[in-house]
Amino acid sequence: MLFVAIGRLMNKEGVFKNAVITAAGLGIIGMLASLLHLGRPLSAMNALFQFGSSWLSREIWFTAIFVGLTVVAAVLLYVKPQASGAVTGLSAGAALVGLIDAFAMAKIYSSASVPVWQGAATTIEFYAAALSMGAMLFLVLSGKEAGKLKKIVALTVAAVVVVQVAVVVPYFISLGAGTGTALQA
């Protein structure tokens, strides 16, 4: 949705329908999968009311908002395609919420009891995965419509990989040189 938002802001004629619909579908599938992997799905409701103290609660809310904005954008593309401004706004909102959601997801893992996940590398890995896979899906689904964006998307992926390597490789090297609990894990 980040690349859809950028595309719609840079190219007023760009619709990126396939990318929006795919993002909505994957969002719905992701939410369902997250509920089904819980031991007691009905207990997940308890997490909703801990927004101030629980990264899991924040992740649930931000994911729901992201999926909601994305689904509304997809529906508008079908029902009222002339509502370009609304779809662009929804796409930009979904992109912003999605970036916040990726941070919340990373915080769940970096605050877990697995020592190797407790560091900045986990957050970098989450953003690297989201941005690079999102970029590739956007390019595949947008084809010719992406036009000038292909260069921006390619540069974004290259920058993400450089940051990922600059942070994650030294982190794993430091783990290999140490004898701490993260290495043992």
Task: Report percent pLDDT > 90 for the chain.
Answer: 62
Inter-residue contact 12 to 84 (CB < 8 Å) = yes
What pTM did the predictor assign? 0.88
Tell whether the model's pLDDT for residue 65 goes beyond 80.
yes
DSSP 3-state of 17: helix
**Residue of higher predicted confidence among 183 and 134:** 134
The per-residue pLDDT for 5 is: 96
The per-residue pLDDT for 181 is: 65
Q: Domain locations in the chain?
A: 2-184
Residue 131 structure tokens: 């941005």
Q: Given the structure tokens 């908002």, which residue do they identify?
A: 65
Tell whether the model's pLDDT for residue 49 goes beyond 80.
no
The per-residue pLDDT for 54 is: 83
Inter-residue contact 116 to 25 (CB < 8 Å) = no
Which residue, among 8, 18, 13, has the nearest Cα to 139 in the 3D structure? 18
Based on the number of CB atoms within 10 Å of its own CB, is 53 exposed (0-12), middle (13-18) or buried (19 or more)? Answer: exposed
Residue count of the chain, please give it: 185
d(CA 63, CA 29): 12
Segment 117-162, tens digit of pLDDT: 888 899 999 999 999 999 999 999 998 888 889 999 999 999 999 9
pLDDT band at 184 (very low <50, low <70, confident <90, very high): low
The per-residue pLDDT for 22 is: 97
Segment 76-85, tens digit of pLDDT: 999 998 999 9
Tell whether the model's pLDDT for residue 178 goes beyond 80.
no
Segment 86-108, tens digit of pLDDT: 999 999 999 999 999 999 999 98
